[in-house]
Amino acid sequence: MIRTRSLLLVSLLTLGCGRTSMPPRATGPGLYTAEDFTLTLPVGATVRETQRSDAHEIAIVSPDDSSYTMFVARYQLSDSLPLRVLVRREFIADSVESKQNGWGVPGPVRRDSVARLEAWSFEPTCGDCTMFNTYIARGRTVLRFQCIYSENTTSWPSQRVAYASMLASFRWRGA
């Protein structure tokens, strides 16, 4: 708990300095505890924390570094927007970028849930990969879960299980 707070403090101190990566933290099976949420992680998962100028982000990576990778980004909104509106804006931005790069069209925005909480998702385009962005919010805090799928489609069932398990374990702290 103290180490998590220390890492978060260091991350927050680097807020205006671009993207700063923290050393990986081996965990699991166990609970990843952030300032405002918790997630249960698969056995052997490693968490890497980064700080960008616009968001705090963690990468949850499988022990073999290829079975699954989930990014969780935390954004603070300056104004209060319905989650669906925010996700539609993200979808539009992805659509513009996709068109400029000839990547195709992102998947539609759809209603979803994370641990029985309202969520909205879409499949962004990234050229040669498959991923899904799922967003939840509490107040002005928004979390984006980005699940990256392997080019090897035979690994998708095990990746789906890992992602579904982590998302089902999500809990807001203090709620």
Average pLDDT value for residue range 26-47: 83
Average pLDDT value for residue range 135-158: 91
CATH number at residue 119: 3.40.1000.10
Confidence of residue 55 (pLDDT cuts 50, 70, 90): confident
**Looking at the DSSP assignment, which residues form a beta bridge with residue 138?**
141
Q: Return the pLDDT at 119.
A: 97
Structural domain that includes position 110: 2-172
CA 133 to chain CA centroid, Å, is 7
Question: Can you tell me the distance from the alpha carbon of 134 to that of 114, in angstroms, rounded to the nearest whole number?
Answer: 8
Q: What is the pTM of this model?
A: 0.79
Q: Which of 15-24, 50-59, 68-77, 132-141 has the lowest mean pLDDT?
A: 15-24
Our CA dihedral for 151, 156, 161, 166, rounded to 10 degrees, sits at 20
Q: Report the domain count for the chain.
A: 1
Would you call 80 helix, strand, or coil by DSSP? Answer: coil
Confidence of residue 153 (pLDDT cuts 50, 70, 90): confident
Residue, of 65 and 40, whose pLDDT is higher: 40
Taking only the tens place, the pLDDT of each residue in 85-139 is 999 999 999 888 888 877 777 889 999 999 999 999 999 987 677 889 999 999 9
Confidence of residue 28 (pLDDT cuts 50, 70, 90): very low
